[in-house]
Amino acid sequence: MYPPHHQGGYELVWRAAVADLRAHGHEVTVLTTDHREPGVPDGDEPDVHRTLRWYWHDHDWPTLGLRERARLERHNAAALTAVLERARPDVVAWWSMGGMSLSLLDAVRRRGLPAVAFVHDDWILYAPRRDLWLATPGPLRRLAGVPLARDLGPAAEWVFVSEHTRDRALHHGAWTLARTAIAHSGIDPRFLDPAPERPWEGRLLVVGRLDERKGADVAVTALAALPDATLTVAGDGDADYARRLRETAAAAGVADRVRLLGPVARRDLPALYAAHDATVFPVRWEEPWGLVPLESMGVGRPVVATARGGAAEYLRDGVNALVVPPDDPDAVAEAVGRLAADPALRGRLRTAGAATAAAHTHERFHEQVRAAISRAGRG
């Protein structure tokens, strides 16, 4: 999907990248799915074609018969052909292809078009194994007129958001990736204006999609050992998980100190960080990168975080953050207690965190995106 339709920060990152490419003189055509968030208009951004169809339904893989698969593949092949013939691109950039037709990548390869793939999640691991069209026997795929090679690695340069994501793809992926690079996603300038220091009031913040992997329940449980603290959880997502968060808060006796704020517009996030004393990033899963700690650092608020996945590449315990083990509410409470008791520690984390945030900006990421596209264009 593509904004204004989005379900997380990934799509917003790429809209900003598209805007940057256009600002630097590139003509950019976007081909994306026809998925639309209820009640959200498409907007008036030029050259955005919402004509592809997704295999996923509610981020799950439905059971489709051969005829349905072939119909979807032919539709997407025609949508791609129409855009390629109209735009006549010098370079094709792939973004997230989870739940999409991998035959689209093969079609670009067979046309001999230079391509670069930007990988910000694990789609490169699961898509080749779960692609419904790839699971269809070769003779039937050929009969339908939509071929698909099994190894699409040589078709592009692969640019990963973190060393962690690249290592997983190289060691556990199904494709041969001969050309790879790293481009760390960055924060926009709104998060690079540190707010004034504030007296400690125990106001804690969790920002992120309501999803068990994000671990907001760990912060809720930790609150039981922090009688003077409050917790704001900003984000939307899984309604069942939100219900369980409320139940966890009630069981821990902290329901009156936990506020589920719901979704917050990007433009309002810097002020939200600034209105709190510290940000807790208690993720369980190995997140590909992790912008929330960087945003909090940029605004000048200390971070208590699990160093999982890509975030481990910039989190330094006692230097720019306090690092805790995953699924450990006691460790979260202990780290918050250290912050509350030690203004000098908060000051050191603030200074080092600001430097970390300044090294991971939109501008730097966009430079790397433009460089990758230029490399692809030069062949």
Q: How confident is the model at residue 128 (pLDDT cuts 50, 70, 90)?
A: confident
Residue 55: per-residue pLDDT: 82
- What does DSSP assign to residue 323? E
Residue 231: per-residue pLDDT: 99
Q: How confident is the model at residue 268 (pLDDT cuts 50, 70, 90)?
A: very high
Residue 377: per-residue pLDDT: 87
Residue 8: per-residue pLDDT: 66
Rg (CA), the chain: 22
Q: Which residue has the higher pLDDT, 251 or 127?
A: 251
What's the number of CA atoms in the CB half-sphere (13 Å) around residue 378?
A: 6
* pTM assigned to the model: 0.91
Q: Which residue has the higher pLDDT, 85 or 132?
A: 85
Q: pLDDT, tens digit, for every residue of 201-232?
A: 999 999 999 999 999 999 999 999 999 999 99
* Domains recognised in the chain with CATH numbers: 9-186+362-378 (3.40.50.2000), 189-358 (3.40.50.2000)
- Any long-range contacts for 340-348 (C-beta under 8 Å, 24+ apart)? 340/200, 340/202, 340/228, 340/229, 343/200, 346/197, 346/200, 346/302, 347/197, 348/319
Q: pLDDT, tens digit, for every residue of 271-319?
A: 999 999 999 999 999 999 999 999 999 999 999 999 999 999 999 999 9
Mean pLDDT of the chain: 92
Residue 243: per-residue pLDDT: 97
First-to-last CA distance in the chain? 29
Alpha-carbon distances of 356 from 9, 59, 82, 242, 360, rounded to whole Å: 20, 33, 44, 32, 7
Q: pLDDT, tens digit, for every residue of 18-39?
A: 999 999 999 999 999 988 778 8
**Which of 11-20, 164-173, 249-258 comes out lowest in average pLDDT?**
11-20
Smallest CA-to-CA distance from 61 within 32, 98, 96 is with 98
Cβ partners under 8 Å of residue 140, min gap 6: 66
Q: Which two tokens stand for residue 159?
A: 């640019």
Q: Quick check: 131 pLDDT over 90? A: no
Q: pLDDT, tens digit, for every residue of 152-184?
A: 999 899 999 999 999 999 999 999 999 999 999
Residue 153: per-residue pLDDT: 92
Q: pLDDT, tens digit, for every residue of 325-373?
A: 999 999 999 999 999 999 999 999 999 999 999 999 999 999 999 999 9
Residue 141: per-residue pLDDT: 75
Residue 59: per-residue pLDDT: 62
Average pLDDT over residues 236-258: 96
Cβ partners under 8 Å of residue 66, min gap 6: 136, 140
**Where are any strands of DSSP class E within 42-141?**
48-52, 92-94, 115-119
pLDDT > 90 fraction of the chain, expressed in percent and rounded = 73
Distance CA 238, CA 210 (A): 5
Q: How confident is the model at residue 379 (pLDDT cuts 50, 70, 90)?
A: low
Q: For tokens 């449980």, name the residue.
A: 221
Residue 7: per-residue pLDDT: 67
